[in-house]
Structure 1
Amino acid sequence: MEIYDYVTDSAGNHITADDIVWMLQACVDAGLKTCYDKIDTITKTGDYTLQVKLKQNVVGAFETILTSTYVVSKAAYEADGNDFATQIVSTAPYIVTEFTAGSTMTIEKRDDYWQKPELIPAGNAANVDKITYHVITEASQAGIALETGELDGFMSLDPNTATQFVGNSTFSMIDTPYINGYQMFFSGDPSRTITDDVNLRQAICYAIDVDGLITGVFAGYGSKMHDSAANTAMGYLEKWEDEEYYPYDPEKAKELLAQSNYNGEELVLLAGSNSTMQRLTQMIQGYLAQVGITVKLNLADPALLTSIRLDGSQYDMFINTVGGDWLSDHWATRYDMNAYATGDACARHDEVLADMLYSTWTEDGFTEENIDAVHNYIKDNMYGFGMVQPSNIDIWRSDIGLTETVRTSKGSINWAASVYSE
């Protein structure tokens, strides 16, 4: 890799290959994401060049590493001495001028941004001088803030709140497919009876009315999934949309349940505690009760969820929202038995699936035939059930003069890079 020789951070530090090597190695040492697990060596080859060698040739892995790594100067990080807990120094076109954890963050355009205007991509443009972001987790409060003018726009508005703005000329709204889906993953830990009971896992899927979830939880803003990965992932096969994928069939669910080892015991469903997850899990609990499956909800706050989500002994089912730019990203995050100390993301050790994944990840192996084989293996064994791919709803006041929207890689509007009238 070669970097520009005139990059500076917001503290005035000149960025060289030493900074990139240091940052990459810090990410590897900290195990920040599974993509860093794939790095073998990081070597400086010149003042502005470096080489990153991967352990294996995995489709999309190098791109994921690049887009996951933020450029920070080693000098600024060491001078701070507090892991940037109270300030942020970066190479971005904005600086953070105000920050209150869990509440607000204000960014302002840098006068000394290093990149030449003609080389700035549309997605990195700084077309707004100052933006203040507000964290509002309660859907109704978000609606009130928009109506009162406290907010000019909102990213990923709750569908049930968005419905109140339909037809209101004061606001403009766009909904697009989100890159993450709402999926149910099943424990692979030996201590849970569901681990070795494919009939029970399949019965659960047939018992869930996904159309009902889309209407009842997402106000119609969403679509049925046909894989545990969203259809925006590179490598996703369009033909899956026409295949049968666990349609709502309570009688089929009861038939499979009778063939399973389930004896009426309470199954634990783990999920987050936000309002969407509360509605979603309560509906699923109701659907499963109708076919004779008893479910206990464990709706955990973010800290607790993070601490137990990889421990399959803590649950039978886990609802998560997992995306991935590539199918290989999604598979690595969820199904690689060597990804975590406990196995895959649900503590499963499936060597057959691991071999299939590894052969598919290569440039030569990332073929439609191999991709389809992995899809069918996961679907038949029902390790992960894709339920709803929600719409991403962005809304803004029409009087802010937004004339051209620019999207982030996640699908939401990039408010800083979008174009506005004078």
Structure 2
Amino acid sequence: MESNQQSSTVRFVQGSAAPVFRGEPESGLTFLCEQCGHVLIDHYLAEDYIAVGIQCFQCKHVSFTPDIELGEIFSARTMTFPDQGGYLIGGTVTKRAGLMIASSAAFNANIEMTTPAEAGIPFELNFKGLDRLVEIYAETTGGDFAAQRKIVERSPAKFRHDLTFAWAIGILRDRLAANVLDVRDADTCSALIYISTFGSIYGRWKRHPRFNLIARGFAKPKSFLHTAGLFTTAFIMYQNASIVGLALEDRYGEPNPDLYVRGVQGSRTYLEVKAPQALQTIGEADPPGMVESAVKQIVDRSKAQINRNRVGGLVLFATGFRKNLANDMARFSHNALVRVGRQRTSLAAIMSISLADTKLTIPAGRNGMIEMDFRLGGVANPHFAGDNPFKFEA
């Protein structure tokens, strides 16, 4: 009688004394029968075998590999097996690097939890609707909204980028009280973008196991737009058929990239999201050189997150409505790669997430989603060391 029965987990039957699997590359580790110690997997890496049961040739006990870490993503190359029945393996199967073997149940449950929903939450653009968003904000982030509002009220312009959500709610409450909601007003437009983006992110990502932990960034000073950019980038990449992982800080206080994708050889490619103030302005023009200077500064300061140990790309997140902003970001990103691309061979690309149109539409009756469309663009580094995972249309 098995002490660790998991009837929904795939079982391989070891048909000889040889290990069922031999992993690549050689890890020197083994996965043993938990009852008799017989070798079931040679050169074992736990992340490559997810919720898989193997029946031992010697003692017939079934040992199970661990399930995937909560919130982790599967490799682009994952082989799943039905969860009922057994598969007799007479020799040893060589498992190639980057390939994951998983129970169908474990794989499907993970996809259900980590894939974002298509739509965010609709809301009423009135006092009741704003109050509901404040409740969600407090529950999700743990932020003390009342205390943040008091700080913002002392100097709205000064704390706009420090406590962005509280600033946006205050602006919209003031406009509703005056019965004036004009999207041609820069502050009104920005506030609508910020709260609508927050609502969309909450609706799409709330079921993700790592959402609440990462969403705390919405309430941290100067972190709202960075956090919004992180989730928005991940959603757009899912729309473009890329499975994206939400990264957790490896070591407290040390810089770590925000997102990652798993490659076919088991490697990870990381993404670092930046949301400088220069990309959040509303209007026809910015002071000369502001956007170019911001892009240059971001590239020069990104070595702590993107380097030889963590190869990947940069993402510029923009909520600003400004003529030619997307084109300017692409042009300045290209210039930056011309300047440093040969030295930064670990930097695969500089991407941009920006609003597609220069207008904002409030639904009739102020009930529903604010209509916005974030688009992905980018410039690949031709000097990237290796096969560049990011491709963009010319």
Structure label with greater radius of gyration: 2
Q: TM-score normalised to the size of structure 2?
A: 0.26
Q: TM-score normalised to the size of structure 1?
A: 0.24
